[in-house]
Amino acid sequence: MKLTSKGRYAVMALVDLAKFNDINPVSLRDISLRQGISLDYLEQIFSKLRKKAIVQSVRGNQGGYVLNKKANEIKLTNIFDAVDEKVKTVRCKKESKKGCNGKPTKCLTHNLWDELENHINDFFEKKSLEDLIKDNIERRI
Amino acid sequence: MKLTSKGRYAVMALVDLAKFNDINPVSLRDISLRQGISLDYLEQIFSKLRKKAIVQSVRGNQGGYVLNKKANEIKLTNIFDAVDEKVKTVRCKKESKKGCNGKPTKCLTHNLWDELENHINDFFEKKSLEDLIKDNIERRI
DNA sequence: CAGATACTTGACTAATTTAGTCAGGTTTAT
DNA sequence: ATAAACCTGACTAAATTAGTCAAGTATCTG
């Protein structure tokens, strides 16, 4: 049960973006340097974030990225969803007619994994980018 | 963020075991047939469960496995721990002197991942095998 | 004691996923 | 014009997963 670095990076980069977002857009190059994430990889990640309208891009010289919503409107769920970081506790959901384990019934623990999934998603649903930034400032004091 | 099938199988197999555990020990072969898990794979899993004293083995003809503790004393944590299903939200913990991302400071989101880890582990800590079995019986009625 | 049943161990492997890199663009401010 | 920065898609090495396979050892039952 582990988080992929794509998901982690997406969140890190957005916190960085929100933090340094003043008048000018923030360039991926700067984020790359500050957070130690490869520029190429960041581009992949931001392409997805843009498609899901979480950020907006500003092209050309002195361009970069800007948040497309207020920080308190961006939940972790939205971020993870954008970069395809999904919470998959079970395999056995898609086989339409069969249950899990190839049998007509649901597996003994099917309900458990659903609960777990909800439990984790709750966490993601409650945390917004703003929370993270606040947390970050407090910590520094 | 996903659960491996080793962890899932371990829990499924133990619920099955607890359910059919009357006078005789339960053979892996039976579990394999009922739950649709390969016998060889089950053997690997039960070897680990035995080492962590979650089950006891009974050798010989009509042998099999028995729970080594009461069902309400076996938490999901114990099971996952036994089969090395760990909750790893972050990579950046072991590099003793450095923080995450190779810098001397912690990454912007370090605290978040810790929280997430605790949130998930809470869930595992609270659920016991007994809960699962009860849940299973209720559901059938 | 013979044989079957069932546990035990360890090595091996195919497939998948992850975590990127690389190359070759396009757009736009100055 | 040109440089900074975005944009896209293909590619790949390494790690992990999800098992399989083979060769045992222990012990109950007849």
From chain B, pick out residues whose CB is under 8 angstroms from the CB of A120.
1, 116, 119-120
What is the residue-averaged pLDDT of chain A?
Answer: 88
Tokens of B3: 């659960």
What is the tens place of the pLDDT at every residue in A66-93? 999 999 999 999 999 999 998 888 765 4
From chain B, pick out residues whose CB is under 8 angstroms from the CB of A139.
111
Considering the segment(s) B5-140 as one domain, its CATH architecture is Orthogonal Bundle (1.10)
Neighbouring residues of A45: CB distance < 8 A, sequence distance ≥ 6? A6, A9, A10, A13, A83
Low-confidence ranges of chain A (pLDDT < 50): 93-98
- Nearest 5°: phi and psi at A132? -65, -40
Which 61-90 positions of A have CB less than 7 A from strand D?
A: 61-65
Please indicate whether, in this complex, the C-beta atoms of B90 and A8 are within 8 angstroms of each other.
yes
Integer distance in angstroms from CA B22 to C1' C4? 23
**Per residue, what are the HEC states of chain B?**
CECCHHHHHHHHHHHHHHHHCCCCCECHHHHHHHHCCCHHHHHHHHHHHHHCCCEEEECCCCCEEEECCCHHHCEHHHHHHHCCCCCECCCCCCCCCCCHHHCCCCCCCHHHHHHHHHHHHHHHHHCEHHHHHHHHHHHHC
Low-confidence ranges of chain B (pLDDT < 50): 93-98
pLDDT value at residue B30: 95
Is strand D in 7 Å reach of the CB of A52?
no
Chain B residues with CB under 8 Å of a chain A CB are: 1-5, 7-8, 11-12, 15-16, 19, 35-37, 80, 85-91, 101-103, 107-109, 111-113, 115-116, 119-120, 123, 127, 132, 135-136, 139
